[in-house]
Amino acid sequence: MHNSLVVRNMSARSSDFPKTTERGEGEFKLKFKIVSTVSISMLIFSKMENRTNQEELCEIKSREKMEEHDHLTKDSRDSSTPMRPDLFHLHQMTGFDGFECPASLKHKQEFFPQWRLPIKMAAIIALLTFLYTCLRDIIHPFVMTRAHFFYKIPILVINKVLPVVSITLLALVYLPGVIAAAFQLHHGTKYKRFPEWLDKWMLARKQFGLLSFFFASLHAVYSLSYPMRRSYRYKLLNWAYQQVQQNKEDAWDEHDVWRMEIYVSLGIVGLALLALLAVTSIPSVSNSLTWREFHYIQSKLGIFCLFLGTVHALIFAWNKWVDVKQFVWYTPPTFMIAILLPIVVLVGKGILLLPCYRKRIQKIRHGWEDPTKMDKAEMAFQL
């Protein structure tokens, strides 16, 4: 009786779904291979998700697996067409869309994560410098004498902002190194972890340097555009007329000539070194250098580039340090504010180069630990 019921059920199922046993086995094998393909594709994608071309590689792998599957099942061509709805249903069940990477496994990539801090710092410095320069060069003359100097904003004011941002960002590249060295000297070991803010700052030094090069390049282009301005041509005519009115045959100023020649030359050399730093930070270039060569360029030449930029600003100022007219509304000139942080970094680097500190830092970075610092740390930990 039980056997007859089983036979009837089997016959009923076979009548409702007219598929042969061979076709059922083929469908089972097909679904098994599809699931296997999905699993293999998921494993491949998880291994390659940290690569930059993860989507293309995953798609290639998935399609290669599908082509291999089609080659293995080409003898069941007559049964493949009716089973396409089941195949696409399986795609939707597993999260696949045309055998590409599943949406659930696509890593949500952040937008310029390592550039956020440098760009924010550059934007803040640029905005504050722009407002400060406008206050001194635009608003002050307008309030005091009703002079309209708003035409200076597109070129002259912007060109005062660019070098300030550039040299400040370059100083921010080497300031965390000074802080890290002081941190290691204080704790007497290199195994104590840096604070999180310092760690993030040190990881963003490359981006700070590239932004510094970007603003320095803009500063050079803006400076070269000075003679092309219409306002400069009018001023040149006015200077010539004033010279005629004063009966001057020669307007040569020795000090001003030397100042101009020296600070322009230093600016060109500094920009060239900054370009070298930017080029060596490219992975394809840095991988071709040894660690000693890369460290020498980024550390030694980088500090020298910062030194040249600082001297460039100092010579540009020349004798303006003692000129009372430069202190508008009791505010110092822009170049005085620009060189404060670079001077702090250079002084800090100079102190760390003293033999008493340099040897100690080298010992610490080679694994030496100060026993007095360690004893104090252990006592504090026990308490």
**Terminal Cα-to-Cα distance of the chain (whole angstroms):** 84
Distance CA(338)–CA(169), nearest Å, equals: 10
Residue 46 near residue 105 (C-beta atoms within 8 A): yes
Which domain range does residue 155 map to? 117-382
177-207 residue pLDDT tens? 999 999 999 888 888 889 999 999 999 999 9
* Domain match, 82 and 136 both: no
Distance CA(65)–CA(33), nearest Å, equals: 10
Distance CA(279)–CA(222), nearest Å, equals: 22
- Residue 50 within any structural domain of the chain: yes
- Residue 159 within any structural domain of the chain: yes
* Domain match, 279 and 363 both: yes
* Domain match, 16 and 92 both: yes
- Residue 112 within any structural domain of the chain: no
- Residue 228 within any structural domain of the chain: yes
Which of 72, 105, 138 is where one domain is finished? 105
Please give the full DSSP string across 336-348, using - where no structure is assigned. Answer: HHHTHHHHHHHHH
| Residue in this structure with the two tokens 């795609």, named with its chain if needed | 91
Distance CA(254)–CA(99), nearest Å, equals: 76
* Domain match, 11 and 122 both: no
Three state DSSP letters for 227-265: HHCHHHHHHHHHHHHHHHHCCCCCCCCHHHHHHHHHHHH
* Domain match, 261 and 308 both: yes
* Domain match, 140 and 207 both: yes
- Residue 357 within any structural domain of the chain: yes
* Domain match, 358 and 259 both: yes
* Domain match, 149 and 93 both: no
Helices assigned H by DSSP within the chain: 2-16, 21-48, 54-72, 77-80, 84-94, 116-134, 140-145, 158-187, 196-203, 205-224, 230-245, 254-280, 283-286, 291-295, 302-317, 334-338, 340-352, 355-365, 371-382
Enumerate residue ranges in the chain where pLDDT < 70. Answer: 1-109, 373-383
pLDDT for 82: 44
Q: What is the dihedral of CA 177, 183, 187, 188, to 10 degrees?
A: 30
* Domain match, 190 and 170 both: yes
pLDDT for 372: 77
* Domain match, 228 and 285 both: yes
The angle formed by the CA atoms of residues 153, 228 and 268, to the nearest 5 degrees, is 85
> What values do phi and psi take at 331, rounded to 5?
-105, 140
Residues in the chain: 383
* Domain match, 124 and 56 both: no
Per-residue tokens: 176: 């965390």
* Domain match, 34 and 176 both: no
Residue 344 near residue 319 (C-beta atoms within 8 A): no
Q: What is the dihedral of CA 289, 175, 208, 261, to 10 degrees?
A: -90
- Residue 54 within any structural domain of the chain: yes
Number of domains in the chain: 2
Give the largest Cα separation in the chain, rounded.
133
CA 82 to chain centre: 54
Residue 347 near residue 369 (C-beta atoms within 8 A): no
Residue 138 near residue 311 (C-beta atoms within 8 A): no
- Residue 110 within any structural domain of the chain: no
- Residue 144 within any structural domain of the chain: yes
Which of 80, 105, 130 is where one domain is finished? 105
Which of 105, 125, 150 is where one domain is finished? 105
